[in-house]
Amino acid sequence: MSRWAPDAALRLESAAVELFEEQGYGPTTVPQIAARAGLTTRTFFRHFADKRDVLFLRDREFPDVVGAALAGLPDALGPGELVERGLAVAVAPLDHWRDSIGRRRALIQTDDRLKERELLKSARLSEAVASALGTRGLTPLDARLLAATAVAVFDAALDEWLDSADGTALADHLTAVWERMRAVRG
Amino acid sequence: MSRWAPDAALRLESAAVELFEEQGYGPTTVPQIAARAGLTTRTFFRHFADKRDVLFLRDREFPDVVGAALAGLPDALGPGELVERGLAVAVAPLDHWRDSIGRRRALIQTDDRLKERELLKSARLSEAVASALGTRGLTPLDARLLAATAVAVFDAALDEWLDSADGTALADHLTAVWERMRAVRG
């Protein structure tokens, strides 16, 4: 067993998802996950704070990805357009991961502590968007409101995408949900 | 010590806030809280699931209060107006509790697990608003988006209200924040 394992986190994630699906989230232990991945418990804790954390590996970087997407857009865009385009850029790579994101979501629905952790994920994304908007000159209040709107649209679009089986890209669901968001406010 | 104590939950909440402020959230134990309130640990656990829960006593009923406020408004209102007026009705009694809500918020900021619990509070409020909107005929997606918007406005207005010292009512902060929400979306 190599101590240096650049793909250790991904192997631990796969092993955890398999075990959670086979025997449930509650009964699965960190040593079991590590053993299934062919790694030590100590390696597990180098990559993850706890058993919950392993299901949120891919979410760690997403706020930074969205922040970077926003930072890369032209200054001339209005804040609403900026957020809408930034999210569309950031989600493009997710289409390749639809199956594993869907399995992960199904697991999260089985446990209240995982659902709580999922809320934290949305809060971190909201902070990243608000911070990127702050550097564009929005007031803290405006940045916070627009960021919360963007995260609500993103979360809803992600569910629509996972629930639909017609191969529509996540970015297209995002566009449709932004339109509903504008319509529902009247 | 009376077993029948209708105000036990409120006494436990006061005792907990005092102890958390005096010695910090982490070191404070449930037996200490119960003792300060002149009650038993067993009574504590009849009212609260854990030490965190005691800080969220007043949030338990708020989603129902908002749902009832929405249900009581005329059918003729559009969904946006419905949510805006329903929230304004529901928050009116909170002005009397500004000091204790502020102390509670300050305590929540000191601990990550309390911050997580606070996110759950917002999620429950969002579900209650979405459910009330569903009975008015909105699609689940539209109800979800408008509910998320309402909760973002509520959370921001609550912070503006707690941070301001000029005595402006929470309902007036709500009105101002709804206006910013409309403006920032462009």
Domains of chain B: 8-49 (1.10.10.60), 61-185 (1.10.357.10)
Provide, as residue numbers in chain A, all residues whose Cβ is less than 8 Å from the Cβ of B180. 141-142, 145
**Average of pLDDT values for B139-145?**
97
Burial of A41 (0-12, 13-18, 19+ CB in 10 A): middle
Contacts of A130 (CB under 8 A, 6+ apart): A140, A143, A144, A146, A147
DSSP B107-119: HHTT-HHHHHHHH
What's the confidence (pLDDT) of residue B113? 86
- Closest Cβ opposite residue A185 in set B80, B144, B183: B80
What's the confidence (pLDDT) of residue A158? 96
Lowest mean pLDDT among A19-23, B28-32, B58-62, B117-121: B58-62
Is pLDDT above 60 for B1?
no
| Measured distance CA(A134)–CA(A10) in Å, rounded | 33
Kindly indicate the confidence band of residue B7, based on its pLDDT and cuts at 50, 70 and 90. confident
Mean predicted lDDT score pLDDT of chain B: 91
* B186: nearest CA partner in chain A: A80
* A149: nearest CA partner in chain B: B149
* B143: nearest CA partner in chain A: A184
DSSP B72-126: TS-TTS-HHHHHHHHHHHHHGGGGGGHHHHHHHHHHHTT-HHHHHHHHHHHHHHH
Lowest mean pLDDT among A101-105, A178-182, B57-61, B181-185: B57-61
Provide, as residue numbers in chain B, all residues whose Cβ is less than 8 Å from the Cβ of A185. 80, 146, 149, 182, 185
**Average of pLDDT values for A7-27?**
94
Inspect the interface and report whether the beta carbons of B185 and A146 lie closer than 8 Å. yes
Inspect the interface and report whether the beta carbons of A180 and B142 lie closer than 8 Å. yes
| Measured distance CA(A171)–CA(A92) in Å, rounded | 7
Q: How far is B162 from chain A (nearest CA, A)?
A: 14
Is pLDDT above 70 for A139?
yes
What's the confidence (pLDDT) of residue A6? 59
Q: Which residue has the tokens 């309130």?
A: B37
Q: Among residues A54, A44, A50, A49, which one has the least CA distance to residue A8?
A: A44
Provide, as residue numbers in chain A, all residues whose Cβ is less than 8 Å from the Cβ of B120. 116, 119
In Å, what is the CA distance from B126 to each residue of A106, B64, B66, B79, B83?
A: 21, 11, 10, 15, 11
Inspect the interface and report whether the beta carbons of A149 and B152 lie closer than 8 Å. yes
- Closest Cβ opposite residue B180 in set A142, A160, A182: A142
Write out pLDDT tens, residues B23-50: 999 999 999 999 999 999 999 999 999 9
Burial of B132 (0-12, 13-18, 19+ CB in 10 A): buried
Residue type, A157: A
Contacts of A106 (CB under 8 A, 6+ apart): none
Write out pLDDT tens, residues B123-137: 999 999 999 999 998
- Residues of chain A contacting B, Cβ within 8 Å: 78-81, 116-117, 119-120, 122-123, 138, 141-142, 144-146, 148-149, 152-153, 155-156, 160, 177, 180-186
Compute the count of residue pairs across chains A and B with CB atoms less than 8 Å apart: 86
Burial of B63 (0-12, 13-18, 19+ CB in 10 A): buried
* B80: nearest CA partner in chain A: A185
**Average of pLDDT values for B89-100?**
91
What's the confidence (pLDDT) of residue B186? 67
Inspect the interface and report whether the beta carbons of A148 and B145 lie closer than 8 Å. no
CA angle B111, B153, B176 (to 5 degrees): 125
Q: How far is A31 from chain B (nearest CA, A)?
A: 25
